[in-house]
């Protein structure tokens, strides 16, 4: 089956691929910086004590600021393979944490989480936006951006 490419469509594909290749690391880095500053704001300014799962999410987010910042500065797209595991693990932990807060699936484990219970809702905007959901969103955006960049790099090989 032959797919007909409309005039200008190939040029659009080249521009979008070029945009991703040139800006993906900067976008992912910016998201990691905002997430890191947000977590520091909640703990240092608002005095919210992080639970054990919050610490795990921080352990996975904070290195992304360095890895992605250096990679973006050096325009080294190959660093995606080092950053992706952090963001994928972070997605999993933050999703588990969110489910612990908002469902009854993991309520028993939440109370045994540590000094601060993992189902503690410090913020609950609009009835569903919590700190773990914010972390999940950041990790997911970073994962999608880096995944697209990685797929493009593999396609170019």
Q: What CATH fold (topology level) applies to the domain 9-156?
A: Bromodomain-like (1.20.1550)
pLDDT tens for 49-101 read 999 999 999 999 999 999 999 999 999 999 999 999 999 999 999 999 999 98
Domain boundaries, the chain: 9-156
pLDDT tens for 124-154 read 888 888 999 999 999 999 999 999 999 998 9
DSSP letter (8 states) at residue 79: G
pTM of the model: 0.85
Strand partners, 125: 129
């Amino acid at each position: 089956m032959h797919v007909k490419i409309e005039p200008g469509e190939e040029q659009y594909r080249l521009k979008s691929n070029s945009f991703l290749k040139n800006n993906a690391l900067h976008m992912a880095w910016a998201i990691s910086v905002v997430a890191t500053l947000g977590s520091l704001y909640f703990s240092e300014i608002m005095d919210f004590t992080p639970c054990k799962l919050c610490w795990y999410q921080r352990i996975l987010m904070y290195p992304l600021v360095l890895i992605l910042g250096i990679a973006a500065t050096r325009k080294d797209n190959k660093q995606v393979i080092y950053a992706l595991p952090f963001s994928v693990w972070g997605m999993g932990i933050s999703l588990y944490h969110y489910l612990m807060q908002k469902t009854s699936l993991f309520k028993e484990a939440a109370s045994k989480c540590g000094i601060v219970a993992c189902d503690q809702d410090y913020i609950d905007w609009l009835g569903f936006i919590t700190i773990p959901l914010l972390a999940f969103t950041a990790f997911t955006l970073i994962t999608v951006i880096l995944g697209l960049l990685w797929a493009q790099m593999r396609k170019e090989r």
